[in-house]
Amino acid sequence: MTASAAGDRGPGAREDEYRPDPHRWRALWVTLVAGFMSLLDVTIVAVALPTVQEDLDASPAQVQWVVSGYTLTFALALVTAGRLGDALDRRRIFLFALCGFVVFSAACGAAPDITLLVVARLAQGLAAGFMAPQNSALIQQLFRGAERGRAFGYFGATVGISSASGPIIGGALLALAGGQDGWRWVFYVNVPIGVLAVLLGRRLLPRTRRSGRGQVDVPGVVLLGLGVFALMYPLVQAESGGLARLWWMFPLGALVLAVFVRRQYRLVARDSKPLLDPRLFTTVRGYAVGAGVGTLYFIGFSGVWLVFALFYQHGLGFSPLRSGLAVTPFALGSAGAAVVAGRLVDRLGRLLTVCGLAGVIVGLGGTALLLRFAPLDVAPWVAAPVLFIGGVGSGFVVSPNITMTLRDVPVRMAGAAGGALQTGQRLGAAVGTAALPGLFYLVLGRSDDYEGAVVVALGAALVMMLASLALAAFDFRRDRRTREPHRRCPEEVANDPVHARQG
């Protein structure tokens, strides 16, 4: 018996008709392995860029596209891919995208010049973007109640570990492979893992029955793609002066997205199928707040890894591997806490996010002070316990926030909702990876003070964390003030206008 039979739920099924899939936990691990690879590839390549530039005789602007091109196409695909998964078959789209990711990873590793490497990375990012929203949607399809919290806990651990461990794994692969072509194994490592995931996914992932819901808002796809592109392109070009040259794209992108939102409201009013239902933000409890918390958090969270890499490698002369090992305590704390948080989120709710953000602020703030005032020969190791505290806090942020943001979203809209959530996170990551290293270089250029530069950059990250904490605390206090139950009853879910209109 395959997973497609036991856990299958058509788009017209009611939420209370859930039947547990006996293969759901094994299917979850397939999606987590694929998700780990796609998110790892955002950061793992950064440590190999100097070797890539030397081996392929590329310019700094060309080699930057190896990172930024992947991020750009990843973000562009998310919402459209999520909507297609909802309308068609999440399993089919996930496996197709995973196959593409494996093929394009091999193409990256075999690229003979920088042009083909960039093209392969763009295609690889597009495949990752089609794969990512199916992960969260499949969790919602396969799990309910406390099990869903545990599953999202593992998913949050995957997000945290993949983001934090990229420099570590990249440095280790470069050290093991050696030679001028060692960077190619940063891409080749995806191939055997991806092939195994495809084979297991074909057996374990559940199918989604089609029920005439294949309509996709093509003009909406174009508008959303243009809007996200206009917001992200100046950011991914930040190191080559993109912010100064392309600032006009920000208001243009905002205008295009406003037109997109207006179109989605008009489609809802006509009872047509929007690409992204705006009622997700207005009627689904916790979705808008969770999306805001996640976006603000990822602005600070994503940028700090580049700041640490710059400080340790350029300021202290660490190797890529040693630089990665210096931030390992954060990754370990995040991984362990995310799994625990998945078991607690059903009981503690938004309080977990509030406490987690406070822990991240303490961890990063304490690390900044130690790197500034402790002797440089011992500062990274003295900071390790404080970084571990920050990692534990991060584990209490990512997975609980994903759970609470997507908890009340109807399963039939799970892909689009997960895609929109991750689009916000990718936009936040793009802002963080452009702004925080930019601040680091700005301070360094004026004073040649590495300690001062890392303090200013981490301080900017803390501002974003404080904004995220304020939003999470507001949501927590609102829930306590209204004395609403943490989980909605089945009658409330059934009467929700999003459920009623989409069903």
Given 231, 247, 274, the domain boundary residue is 274
Instruction: Please check whether residues 437 and 314 belong to one and the same domain.
Output: yes
Q: Which residues contact 386 (CB under 8 A, 6 or more apart)?
A: 362, 363, 366, 367, 370
DSSP string across 278-320:
THHHHTSTTHHHHHHHHHHHHHHHHHHHHHHHHIIIIIS---H
Instruction: Please check whether residues 428 and 306 belong to one and the same domain.
Output: yes
Q: Is 86 within the bounds of a domain?
A: yes
Instruction: Please check whether residues 240 and 111 belong to one and the same domain.
Output: no
What proportions of the chain, in percent to the nearest 5, are helix, strand and coil?
A: 80, 0, 20
Position 267, amino acid? L
Instruction: Please check whether residues 168 and 94 belong to one and the same domain.
Output: yes
Q: How many domains does the chain have?
A: 2
Q: Is 5 within the bounds of a domain?
A: no
The answer to whether the beta carbons of residues 369 and 346 sit under 8 Å apart is no
Instruction: Please check whether residues 250 and 393 belong to one and the same domain.
Output: no
Instruction: Please check whether residues 239 and 372 belong to one and the same domain.
Output: no
Position 309, amino acid? A
pLDDT of residue 99: 95
Type and span of the H or E element at 79: helix 60-87
Q: How far is CA 375 from CA 62, 186, 385, in A?
A: 37, 34, 16
Instruction: Please check whether residues 395 and 262 belong to one and the same domain.
Output: no
pLDDT of residue 467: 93
Domain membership of residue 115 as a residue range: 22-205+275-479
Please give the chain's pLDDT, 503 residues, in tens. Answer: 344 433 433 333 444 466 777 888 988 999 898 888 888 887 788 778 778 888 888 877 778 788 778 888 888 888 888 888 877 788 889 999 999 999 999 999 999 999 999 999 999 999 998 998 888 788 888 887 778 878 877 887 787 677 667 777 887 888 787 767 788 988 998 999 999 999 998 888 887 655 445 567 788 888 888 888 888 788 777 666 777 788 888 899 889 989 988 888 888 888 777 877 788 788 888 888 888 998 899 888 877 877 887 888 788 888 777 877 888 888 888 878 877 887 787 788 788 899 999 999 999 999 999 988 888 778 888 888 999 999 899 889 887 888 888 877 877 777 778 878 877 887 787 788 778 887 888 888 777 788 888 899 899 999 999 999 999 998 888 777 665 444 444 444 444 444 444 44
Note the pTM of the prediction, 2 decimals: 0.76
Task: Tokens for 44, please give them.
Answer: 């793992």
Q: Is 488 within the bounds of a domain?
A: no
Q: Is 495 within the bounds of a domain?
A: no
Type and span of the H or E element at 255: helix 249-269
pLDDT of residue 158: 80
Instruction: Please check whether residues 295 and 267 belong to one and the same domain.
Output: no
State how far the Cα of 189 lies from the Cα of 277, in Å rounded to an integer: 38
Instruction: Please check whether residues 126 and 53 belong to one and the same domain.
Output: yes
State how far the Cα of 472 lies from the Cα of 297, in Å rounded to an integer: 11
pLDDT of residue 482: 64
Q: Is 502 within the bounds of a domain?
A: no
Instruction: Please check whether residues 260 and 320 belong to one and the same domain.
Output: no
Instruction: Please check whether residues 347 and 422 belong to one and the same domain.
Output: yes
Instruction: Please check whether residues 110 and 64 belong to one and the same domain.
Output: yes
pLDDT of residue 336: 82
CATH for 189 = 1.20.1250.20
Burial of 354: CB neighbours in 10 Å, binned 0-12, 13-18, 19+: buried
Q: Is 2 within the bounds of a domain?
A: no
Q: Which residues contact 214 (CB under 8 A, 6 or more apart)?
A: 87, 88
Q: Is 147 within the bounds of a domain?
A: yes
Q: Is 1 within the bounds of a domain?
A: no
Given 256, 274, 292, the domain boundary residue is 274
Task: Tokens for 314, please give them.
Answer: 């350029």
